[in-house]
Structure formats: C-alpha cells, structure tokens
C-alpha cells in the first residue's frame, strides 16, 4: 500500500482512504465492520466519515455512520488509524444538532463533541468543514449570483473555531470540503493573519469525468502546499462500467436512490465513461484500474476516498489504486479529456 504524509502535518496516510457514507443505510454494522477488517488487512489506515452520514441523509439515520465506526474502535482500538470527520453546515439538513447548523464557534464545538462521543475517541485527526456556508453557486452546478448573498458566521470565525478545537486537543488538523479556489485561499490567508493552524487538505470530487481539481485548484494546492482528498473517484460507479448502456443493476446505488448523484447521471458523462472503458480494455486494464490509476498519478493527490457496498468491490478498488499507468496510457487519457473536458463538473 502506497502511503503519503499530508503536507503541513504528521499524518502518514494510505493512498486509499476508506469512505463510509453507505454505513447505516446500504450497509449495516456487520457489513461495515467487515469492510474495516478487509481495508486494514490491505494496508489502509485512513478512514473518512461525517456527522451527516449516511447518505442519503435522514433524521433517523444521522450520526449512525460514526456510531458504527465507534463500535469497531471499541473492540479493536484506534492504534495506527487516521480518522477524519466533518461538520455539516446550514442548508444541509436543519435537523442536525437541533437546527444549530450555522458554522459558529459554538456550533463547531458542539459538533466536535458529539462526533467524539459517537466515535468513542479523544481526538479527531482531521476535521473538515463539509460544505461552505457562504453563497456558493458552483458546487451544485448553478452559476454564482451575488443576489443570493446571505448572512452567517464569517470565515474568520470558522478559522478561530477550528483553532480553538486544536488548542483544546480535540482536533489535530483541519481541512475543507467542496470548496472553491477563492475559499481555500481565504481560509489560508486568515489563518496566517491570525497565526493559527491553517486547513491542510481539501476534499472535493475528482475523477476522469470531474476535473475541477485540474485547473486553478491545482495551482492553489501547489502554492499553498496542500493536498486533495478525492471523493467520488468512480463517479458513483459510472466509471466502473456497471451502468453502461443505461443498465441499472439490482442493489446498485443509482438503482436504489433515484435522486442521488445527478451530476454523474447525464448522457455526456455516460458517453465519456463508455470511451474511458473502451480505452481501458485497449490498454489491458479494467475501467476501475484506469480511473483510480489516473487519480493516483495526480501530483496534488493526498488520498483517494473509496466507498463500496460489497467487499469484492472494495478489494478491487484498493488494488486498482496501486496501479501505475504508463505514459502512453496517460497521454491517451489526456486526449479523451480534450473531447470530454469536465462533463460532471
């Protein structure tokens, strides 16, 4: 298992990070613990969760994923594990924490304490802001509109809140998720101005069909000495080939949940995925090896966040992330990107 030290930290992590958002919905506790056992046996030491999980989120299941992970930790301990979680913000389900979802100092402190209690640990290694609170149009594919400006805690307060949790020993490092280049730079600027620990990671979607990290974000990550935690590396399964030709396999995520992953379920993404699958076969690779091998080659990558509902899928993903693609294959991928620059956004 390839490992990397996340810049700005002492966190030595596996290139594969085990994603957990299906635990408590598509996977029960037994399934989840089996995934943990397999992942650790394959050399994975990095686990990513969130107070909002599982997804799709509901009032009845919120927090269950952390509880499931906590139950495993109580049996096996957390030695050697790097545990990441996230705080949800407003607009992401107001029933979380009784509706106290503005990213204030108090709300972030409360969220940390609740996550620690569910996980049964003393400190979270990497704590992330799940979604930006400010007006932001690009994440959902909607153009930015200044008319949508709204109030809320400023970025300065969020930086101070994270610094307070680090000072209290409850969080070791912190990061951002679903952020823009401006947002990353502003969080880092304010942290420098205050003389407090800055965010060290950015968890955004990244895949062969979601290329937002390849442009200005790549420059930001390089100049700010940060790394990307890439989620949805297989576009929710579109890049595995299982949905080819409009197929909807029984039990698959896009079969079970009609309203999940809309940006990946478009004709343009399907066309791009079909062409990448054909290229993989031509180069003697599986579609999963092509997709994850390409991500593993990105200079900005910290880890690939992989999630699965079945053990065989997880095993395949972990192995595929170790693949090193040859220069010729990478050149062919670049040629295909010229035809499908960023179909999923």
Question: CB of 4 within 8 A of CB of 15?
Answer: yes
**Three-state SS annotation for the chain:** CCEEECCCCCCEEECEEEECCCECCCECHHHHHHHHHHHHHCCCCEEECCCCCCCCCCCCCCCHHHHHHHHHHHHHCCCCCEEEEEECCCCCCCCHHHHCCCCCHHHHHHHHHHHHHHHCCCCEEEEEECCCCCCCCCCCCCCCCHHHCCCCCCHHHHHHHHHHHHHCCCEEEEEEECCCHHHHHHHHHHHHHHCCCCCCEEEEECECCECHHHCHHHHHHHHCCCEEEEECCCHHHHHHCCCHHHCCCCCCHHHHCCCCCHHHCCHHHHHHHHHHHHHHHHCCCCHHHHHHHHHHCCCCEEEEEECCCCHHHHHHHHHHCCCCCCHHHHHHHHHHHHHCCCCCC
Q: So which residues are the catalytic ones?
A: 53
Q: Quote the distance between the C-alpha of residue 256 and its chain's center.
A: 21
Question: CB of 91 within 8 A of CB of 58?
Answer: no
């Amino acid at each position: 298992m390839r490992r990397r030290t996340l810049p700005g930290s002492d966190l030595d992590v596996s290139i594969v990070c085990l994603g957990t958002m299906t635990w408590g919905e598509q996977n029960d506790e037994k399934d989840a613990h089996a995934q943990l056992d397999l992942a650790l046996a394959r050399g994975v030491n990095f686990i990513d969760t969130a107070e909002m999980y599982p997804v799709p989120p509901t009032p009845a299941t919120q927090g269950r994923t952390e509880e499931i992970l906590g139950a495993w930790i109580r049996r096996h301990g957390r030695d050697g594990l790097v545990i990441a979680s996230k705080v949800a913000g407003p607009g992401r389900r107001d029933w979380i924490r009784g509706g106290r979802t503005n990213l204030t100092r108090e709300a972030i402190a409360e969220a940390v304490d609740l996550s620690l209690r569910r996980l049964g640990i003393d400190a979270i290694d990497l704590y992330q802001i799940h979604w930006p609170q400010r007006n932001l149009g690009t994440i959902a594919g909607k153009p930015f509109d200044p008319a949508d400006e709204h109030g809320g805690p400023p970025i300065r307060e969020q930086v101070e809140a994270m610094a307070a949790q680090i000072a209290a020993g409850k969080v070791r490092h912190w990061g951002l998720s679903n952020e823009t280049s401006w947002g990353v730079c502003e969080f880092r600027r304010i942290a420098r101005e205050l003389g407090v620990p800055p965010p060290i990671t950015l968890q955004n979607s990244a895949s062969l069909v979601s290329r937002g990290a390849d442009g200005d974000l790549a420059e930001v990550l390089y100049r700010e000495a940060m790394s990307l935690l890439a989620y949805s590396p297989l576009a929710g399964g579109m890049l595995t080939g299982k949905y080819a030709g409009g197929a909807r396999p029984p039990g698959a995520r896009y079969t079970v949940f009609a309203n999940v992953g809309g940006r990946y379920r478009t004709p343009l993404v399907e066309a791009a995925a079909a062409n990448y699958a054909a290229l993989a076969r031509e180069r003697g690779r599986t579609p999963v090896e092509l997709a994850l091998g390409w991500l593993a080659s990105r200079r900005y990558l910290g880890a690939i966040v992989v999630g699965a509902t079945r053990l065989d899928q997880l095993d395949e993903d972990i192995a595929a992330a170790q693949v090193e693609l040859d220069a010729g294959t990478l050149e062919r991928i670049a040629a295909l990107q010229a035809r499908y620059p960023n179909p999923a956004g």
